Homo-oligomer: A and B are copies of this chain.
Amino acid sequence: MAAWGELLAGVRGVLLDISGVLYDGGEGGGEPIAGSVEAVARLKRSPLKVRFCTNESQKSRGDLVGLLRRLGFDISEGEVTAPAPATCLILKERGLRPHLLVHDGVRSEFDQIDTSNPNCVVIADAGESFSYHNMNKAFQVLMELENPVLLSLGKGRYYKETSGLLLDVGPYMKALEYACGIEAEVVGKPSPEFFKSALQEMGVEAHQAVMIGDDIVGDVGGAQRCGMRALQVRTGKYRPSDEHHPEVKADGYVDNLAEAVDLLLQHTDK
């Protein structure tokens, strides 16, 4: 893996993915990944800036933070960049009234949004709500629009819960794209706008930041395209084949967040 000192030189801020890095979701909420609670606490006590950058779109930001706090994490809503609030800004700016194909857990984020007479579809990780009936409804709304607009909260392929791998929003976004012959606009990682807003909120330039995530494409590739460095953890949805990905190579691979934080504190704490 070579010289971590060189690799991490000049890092001033850290963006942390949540699912698969801090915890694995699952029945009853999920469980922290070993060492991650302490790793976040150590990062926060260090001179490094820290922000959480997630594509979580099943839960509202409030519910997610509540869950993480119950699991022992030191985290507050204001430290989290998430796609649902970013989507609401876009909807308001563009006068869009969405048909929502989302999980009930995230619906409250859209409370202030006009959803009457929809002129677009917003799709998020809907879990069990990805029924044939609900997919048809979203499809039919899009087919009736002259200029169909599909906003997707992330485009992840799958994620890992304690019970195993589960389909994320990306496959369902692709299904609607194909059915309607359109291309979705992705809000969330790996969209550069999303990473940039997280960096801005952290007050750190891209070249001074490192992203830590379990998704070789969404986290690592996306962050690198924005000029950040990126480490992949071998937890969450990580698979050994990720280290030979045909298009994306992480700046470093670490066993888990605890190891990443060890290295960061060792090589940047000067």
Contact = CB atoms under 8 A, between A and B. Distances in A.
A178 B143 CA distance: 22
A107 interface: no
Contact of A174 (B126, B132, B174): B174
Contacts of A130: 131-132, 135
B128 A140 contact: no
Interface in A173-202: 174-181
Contact of A143 (B126, B131, B132, B165): B165
B174 A158 contact: no
B136 A167 contact: yes
SS class, residues of chain A in contact with chain B? helix
Contact of A132 (B157, B165, B167, B180): B167
Given A136-B167, A170-B179, A171-B178, 17 more contacts: A126-B132, A127-B132, A128-B131, A130-B131, A130-B135, A131-B132, A132-B167, A136-B165, A139-B158, A139-B165, A140-B164, A143-B158, A143-B165, A170-B178, A171-B176, A174-B177, A174-B178
